[in-house]
Amino acid sequence: MGKALTWVALGMGAVLVVGGCGTSGAPKVEQDSKAPLELWTRTTPGGDGEKGMKKLAAAFEAKTGQKIQVTAIFDDFETKLSQRAAQKDLPDIVMNDSSQLGTMVSQGIVREVDLSKVPGTDQLLESALSSAKAGDGKVYGVPYSAQASALLIRKDWRAKTGLPVPKTWEQFTALAKAFTTQDPDGNGKSDTYGLAVPGSTKRGYASWYFSNFLWAAGGDFIAKQPDGHYKPAMSTPESTAAVKWFRDLACTDKVIQPGAATMDTPPTNETFEAGKTGMYVVGPYLMPRFDKSLGKDKYEVVPMPKGAKDSTVLAEGGSVYLMAGSANEAAQNSFASYVISPEGQKLGMEGDKAFSVQLPVNKSVDVTTVRDDPRWKVYADVYRDHARYAPSIPNWTPIRQDSADTINALIADCGLNLETEMSTLDGKLSAALSKQGVGAS
Amino acid sequence: MSVKEAAPPRAAPRQHGQTAKPRRRSGQWWVPWLFLAPALILFLYFKFIPMAQAVSMSVQEVRPYLGNTWVGTANYSEILSSDSFRSAMGNTIVLAIGQTFGSMVLGFGLALLVEGQTRKLTFIRSAAFLPVVVPLAVVAELWRIMYHPTSDGLLNQLLGLIGLGPSGFINDPDTSLASIAVTGIWRGAPYDMMIFLAGLAGIDRGLYEAATVDGASTRQRILHVTLPGLRPVFAILFVLAAVRGFRSFTEVFLLTNGGPNGSTEVVMTLIYKLGLEQNRLGVGSAGAVLLFVATLVLTVCVQLLRRRRTA
């Protein structure tokens, strides 16, 4: 045995020596205006998202003669990007969620965008551009697409209950209850539910979904202080009331689909498609899918009802990230410029499925000129009037993760004390904020 | 683990053949290493170097592009002092124990039932082995459907027949960990069964006959002949199953992702969240190294116990 332990010790020693060879510093790369661009996009390989992006890239190639190679990756996108970062060989352009900005900036893998070198950025909507600003006030991405959440309702179910499109949370709850108890699909079983909720903690879904309700109630995850630092805000009366209301949907009214606490988005989408749930708060990207699986005439798209404060919903979007260490920064700039130009935006929105731009971010482009579908107008109006992005702090993920854990716990375990959970969550958020150096003391 | 087992055979058993030359038979010392080399190189590249990197990452703040900075034991003290890690460790141990013993008991029962040599048994054995071959992602999806929390769910219908339920299964913090353990047992038992079957085949039939002649009942034969004969099999299975239990990830990730209310958070899902979702690879690596050490300690302990008993 003694001998075996010696071997183990030797092995561990070797491990430490091998591992000790660290590396540091971002390399400066010699520029080559002919170097082809490598573009990564976070979408399903072989899917419509990839087709849309390839179409856009091809148009850019045709216009400028600059070669560009599109790679679609969906699973573990960030992990794969980290691997390439470790090899000091990043793709030139990454098109990913705007909410990834903080993480990417703190890893040092995106370069700052010099707006004067990207023509057309003055045409960007204010709110979209602000989503590309990091905590230090500098711009690290070029937003090219935007989206907001709206409410999807089963039209035929609502007709059956005779209830109006909900304008307030009371009407919303009433409709959800009617969908749950009045057998709207008429199959004689009580197997339908009012609201579809992806309540799993995966990628922080529970928190992501709940933000639509939290902000409308006047609550917040974290609150910015006058000195620019942040304080946790989940135990304020407004936030607590929002959580209580949302939790009652699951625990008291029981209008949320069973199993919500362990569902991420794919199974939740299925409950809506399969006629098990009657309402769903989502972005426009699911419309092509539901049009096909459920039928365009079966559901309606309306703005979210007004909460205690207003009808604020979650805004999200995609940004073009110009990655560090590229050999062709000029082409990076011109690609970003092309995507946000009216021509690029319109091209990106074309098609029923294979579109890469959800809502335009360029002021001069109107979504209705490309798509005459009035549902897109609903989304565009909601985005313009009521949408709000997650705050720009160095790393939003831990905040989203911690709050998702708590929301998930509260809808799964109806016996938990809400106030205690909220103050525990505030403690966690406070720790996460100070770890990132943005916590208010 | 032990040097004795890993050492290459010094010489091939001496044979008095007519064709081969004795000198080539005994071979050079490096010949076995040559045969081992491809596997060793693959192991080095895909196992040992990444492991070394995990150890080095666990003492650094990892920023792949900007370069890492040395933080000493800060990652370890952070993860060890966090409540979530401690509760994840507790859940992992409960899950590992539950899955290990559940699979062993069920696997042993199955092995006794399908032991024998008729053709039908081969078919039944293959059928029983199927859960091991099915990809875990499919298993998880299957069980998610069976665990549907309303009374029209598959398992809840069965519970309803005996007047129980409906249970929330994976959606209820009180039953979620047990539900995941059941899924793990369902998948792990046939694997244990195969190893038990191999062990059973090694037991001298004469012992059973002698026991029968002496008037032993079935129960006594199992207790006094089968179980002692399977002792080495138990030891191996225990180590394998415990290591497997410690590393539970896929079924938890797919069924609950640690929820609801953290009731199924295991060390692996926590490491995944910290390292790959929050991009804090240093802290995640520290967790991984701790898990590795725990597994190592467990394996060494079992080896020690085994040696003491055989000695």
ipTM of model: 0.75
- More confident position, A175 or B162: A175
Is the pLDDT score of B163 beyond 60?
Answer: yes
Q: What is the DSSP letter of A294?
A: T
What is the average per-residue pLDDT within B14-24?
Answer: 50
Establish if A88 touches chain B: CB-CB under 8 angstroms.
yes
As a whole number of angstroms, the distance between CA A246 and CA A404 comes to 13
Q: Closest residue of B to A398, CA-based?
A: B278
Which residues of chain B have a CB within 8 Å of the CB of A204? 277
* Nearest one of B281, B286, B60, B49 to A24, comparing CA atoms: B60
Average pLDDT over chain A reads 89
Which residues of chain A have a CB within 8 Å of the CB of B87? none
Interface of A with B in 332-391 (CB under 8 A): none
State the Cα torsion A64-A129-A430-A398 to the nearest 10°: -30
What per-residue confidence (pLDDT) applies to B7? 45
Task: Work out the number of other CB atoms within 10 angstroms of the CB of residue A41.
Answer: 26
As a whole number of angstroms, the distance between CA A350 and CA A214 comes to 34
* Nearest one of A239, A235, A242, A206 to A420, comparing CA atoms: A235
With beta carbons less than 8 A apart as the criterion, state whether A106 and A112 touch. no
Q: What is the DSSP letter of A309?
A: S
- Cβ density class B274-284: b for 16+ within 10 Å, e for less: bbebbbbbbbb
Interface of A with B in 207-246 (CB under 8 A): none
Task: Work out the number of other CB atoms within 10 angstroms of the CB of residue B219.
Answer: 8
Best of A99, A104, A262 to disrupt the B interface (most B CBs within 10 Å) is: A262
Test B261 with A413 for CB contact under 8 angstroms. Answer: yes
Q: What are the start-end ranges of the E strands in A91-175?
A: 93-97, 142-148, 150-154
Cis-peptide into B38, omega within 30 deg: no
**Global pTM?**
0.81
What is the average per-residue pLDDT within B119-148?
Answer: 85
Nearest by CB to B171, which of A3, A76, A262?
A262
Residue A396, exposed/middle/buried by CB under 10 A (0-12, 13-18, 19+)? buried
| Cα B293–Cα B299–Cα B303 angle in degrees, nearest 5 | 145
- More confident position, A330 or B28: A330
Establish if A437 touches chain B: CB-CB under 8 angstroms.
no
As a whole number of angstroms, the distance between CA A379 and CA A376 comes to 5
What does the pLDDT look like over A11-46, one tens digit per residue? 544 444 444 444 444 556 788 888 999 999 998 898
What does the pLDDT look like over A347-390, one tens digit per residue? 999 887 778 899 999 999 988 888 888 999 999 999 999 999 98
What per-residue confidence (pLDDT) applies to B3? 41
What is the average per-residue pLDDT within B282-287?
Answer: 92
Is the pLDDT score of A148 beyond 90?
Answer: yes
What is the average per-residue pLDDT within B148-172?
Answer: 84
Among A43-47, A51-55, A342-346, B26-30, where is mean pLDDT lowest?
Answer: B26-30
**pLDDT-based confidence at residue B44 (cuts at 50, 70, 90):** very high
What per-residue confidence (pLDDT) applies to B9? 47
Average pLDDT over chain B reads 84
Nearest by CB to B259, which of A8, A86, A200?
A200
Test B144 with A88 for CB contact under 8 angstroms. Answer: no
With beta carbons less than 8 A apart as the criterion, state whether A200 and A263 touch. yes
Map residue B17 onto helix, strand or coil. coil
Tell me how far apart the terminal alpha carbons of chain A are, to the nearest angstrom. Answer: 53
Test A401 with B53 for CB contact under 8 angstroms. Answer: no
Cis-peptide into B260, omega within 30 deg: yes
Which residues of chain B have a CB within 8 Å of the CB of A8? 296
Is the pLDDT score of A271 beyond 90?
Answer: yes
Is the pLDDT score of B287 beyond 80?
Answer: yes
What per-residue confidence (pLDDT) applies to A239? 95
Establish if A25 touches chain B: CB-CB under 8 angstroms.
yes
Among A128-137, A391-400, B123-132, where is mean pLDDT lowest?
Answer: B123-132
Is the pLDDT score of A173 beyond 70?
Answer: yes
Map residue A325 onto helix, strand or coil. coil
With beta carbons less than 8 A apart as the criterion, state whether B244 and B295 touch. no
As a whole number of angstroms, the distance between CA B106 and CA B114 comes to 12
As a whole number of angstroms, the distance between CA B183 and CA B130 comes to 14
Interface of A with B in 128-157 (CB under 8 A): none
* Nearest one of B120, B140, B121 to B131, comparing CA atoms: B140
As a whole number of angstroms, the distance between CA A201 and CA B258 comes to 8
* Nearest one of A123, A59, A95, A147 to A342, comparing CA atoms: A123
CA–CA distances in Å: residue A216 to residues A201, A254, A305, A426, B45: 22, 21, 9, 20, 53
Which residues of chain A have a CB within 8 Å of the CB of B286? none
Is the pLDDT score of A334 beyond 90?
Answer: yes
Pairing of strands A93-97, A37-42: parallel
- Counting Cα atoms < 13 Å in the Cβ hemisphere of A285 gives 20
What does the pLDDT look like over A131-147, one tens digit per residue? 898 878 899 999 999 99
**pLDDT-based confidence at residue A124 (cuts at 50, 70, 90):** very high
**pLDDT-based confidence at residue B311 (cuts at 50, 70, 90):** low
What does the pLDDT look like over B200-246, one tens digit per residue? 888 888 888 888 888 888 888 888 888 888 888 888 888 888 888 88
Nearest by CB to B51, which of A15, A22, A90?
A15
